[in-house]
Homo-oligomer: A and B are copies of this chain.
Amino acid sequence: MNNVHDLQPTLDRAAAAVSSPPDESVIAQALLGVEKCMMDLVNSDVEVLRDASRHIIGAGGKRVRPRLALLAFFAAGGTSADLKDVTAIAAAVELIHTASVVHDDINDHGVLRRGRPSVNALWGRTFALLTGDFLFTKVFELIAPYGIYNTILAEATTALVEGETLQASAVKNRQFTRETYYRIIGLKTAALFRAAAMLGAKCSGASERDIQALGEFGFNIGLSFQIVDDVLDVVGSPEQLGKTSGIDIAQGRGFAVAYENENGQIVEHDDTAADPMISIRKDVLAGTALEEARVQARRFVREAIEGISHLPESAARTELMALAESVVERDF
């Protein structure tokens, strides 16, 4: 994996993953442009940065954020002839997310990510830290010329870091309540989803009202996406998810923990038990936390869909609504 010099296999794999067959959809073609933009951007004379970046980008992932940006662009009236800006923005959004997962895997000791060994696992902590920094700085090089877009994206990135930090603080101080949970996921996940949708819409020259509506749509499906992610962390296996699972309960966080904390079921878990994870997981699976999580996630999706119903009917609007549904119905 230390010799990723040829882009083509990665791009082919991305093409296959994005849609089947890719030429059925304008979005699939546009997403290929996003892949290429990301892979080109992280080229560097410093081999380890290039290789580690392409390793994690080439692993694929759901690409829900760039898809959201592109669909918002088309739903707000953008055309295929004018994809340059939205491609850069979509790549920037995905790379911000990617940088954050590289750093997350250091803090969480995650060894599996997107079905591959994490950067941390392959290159070690020092290079993982620097690769995450590199991805952040390359994003800001990419979007430096974009003025106001730049401010929106920088603010969303700050929110992401604040959300991650608030989460670590709440765990440390054993204050992982439901109120804190919603504040955390608003910052660490939904803010970037909102930025993706707003900026996609902005690139199409949409009205301020449509930009705001699509931003709100993004925020709501971001909340929903994160809640479902937290459910899957409890119920899913590493094979299904392509990443280390069970981390949330082990670390005292996630929807289930917030729910159980507030319902007095998990106040403090016994670190000295043979495997506290197994017994807590059993409690969570037996309880109502996960059902409650799905209910909340569906509520946000409903709000999301209602919020863009005023947009003119289009294939992109239909796909946006389908994206919202898929966020809550997914199994990985």
Contacts and interface: CB of A to CB of B under 8 A. Distances in A.
Nearest to A157: B137
A248 interface: no
Contact of A134 (B48, B125, B141, B165): B165
B134 A49 contact: no
Contacts of A166: 46
Contacts of A136: 133, 136-137
Number of copies: 2
Interface in A129-149: 129-134, 136-138, 140-141, 144-145, 147-148
Interface string A285-313: 00000000000000000000000000000
A158 B134 contact: yes
A239 interface: no
* Chain A interface SS verdict (over half): helix
Given A103-B133, A136-B133, A154-B144, A44 B162 contact: yes
Contacts of A132: 133
A29 interface: no
Interface in A72-113: 103, 106-107
A182 interface: no
A161 interface: yes
Nearest to A108: B126
Interface in A148-168: 148, 150-151, 154-155, 157-158, 160-162, 164-166, 168
Contacts of A48: 165, 169
A252 to B, nearest CB: 13
9 contacts: A44-B162, A46-B166, A127-B165, A127-B168, A132-B133, A137-B154, A137-B158, A137-B160, A140-B157
